[in-house]
Amino acid sequence: MASGSTESLLKLLADQQAPSSHLRRMSELHALFASDDNCVAAVLVGSYAQGRGDRISDLDLGVFTQPGQASNVLDKAHAILSKGDVLYDYFGGSFKNCFRKYIYLDFSSCELYADDIPTTFKLRSPYLPVWDPSGFLATLEVEEPAPRHEDFVAYQHGDAGLMWELFDCIKWIKRGRIELAKSYLQKLVRKF
C-alpha cells in the first residue's frame, strides 16, 4: 500500500469495526490528498494502524505538505472532517505545523496533524500510508516505541483541549482501562 490504496485501507478499517462515518472520511481525505499537489504524503497511525482499533477508536492522521502549505491543506481537510454532526472541533498549532481534533455525535473522533516539510516528525511502526506516491514516509521512520497513553501530558492545550482529554478518559473507561483513566484524571486535577 505504498501509494495508499484506498480500498485496502478501507477494508482494514472495516475489519476493525470502524464506523461508516470513518470510512467516508478516509475515502474523501484520500481523494483530497491524491489530488492536491501540496500534499507530499499522508499517514494513519494509532490503534487502527496497529490492528487493534474498534468502533470508538479515533482516526489518527498526519499529512506532510510542501513548505508553507500545512494550514491550507488542513483547511481543505476541515471541509471534509466538519461534515456531519460535530460535537467538538479544536484547532491548534502554527502556520507550518497545525492540527485539528474532532468529536462527532456518533462517538467517533479524528485527529489530523499537518506538517510542512522538512519536518522533525518521527514516524514509528506500525503505520499505514494513506497517500505516499514518492515513498516519503519511510524517510521519517525511527526505531523507537510509539508514545503510550500513560505518558500523555495532561492539559497540554489548556481549556480548549479539555473536552478531548475527557473524551479519551471516557473511551478508556469503556474499554475497561479504569486505572489509566483515573491516573490521567489525577494528572488533570494536579494541573488545575
Q: Cell numbers for 26, please give them.
A: 478516509
Encode the chain (192 residues) as per-residue pLDDT tens digits: 344 478 999 999 999 999 999 999 999 999 999 999 999 999 999 999 999 999 999 999 999 999 999 999 999 999 999 998 999 999 999 888 999 999 999 999 999 999 999 999 999 999 999 999 999 999 999 998 888 899 999 999 999 999 999 999 999 999 999 999 999 999 999 999
- The enclosing domain of 96 has a CATH number of 3.30.460.10
> Does 160 map to a domain?
yes
- Are both 30 and 113 inside the same structural domain? yes
- Are both 182 and 132 inside the same structural domain? no
149 burial type by CB count under 10 A (0-12 exposed, 13-18 middle, 19+ buried): middle
- Are both 92 and 166 inside the same structural domain? no
- The Cα-based distances of 177 to 7, 84, 170, 181, 184 in angstroms read 32, 29, 10, 6, 11
**For strand 59-65 and strand 109-116, is the pairing parallel, antiparallel, or unpaired?**
parallel
- Are both 159 and 130 inside the same structural domain? no
pTM for this structure? 0.92
Give residues with Cβ within 8 angstroms of 138, minimum separation 6. none
> Does 1 map to a domain?
no
Number of domains in the chain: 2
Structural domain of 166:
148-192
- Are both 66 and 33 inside the same structural domain? yes
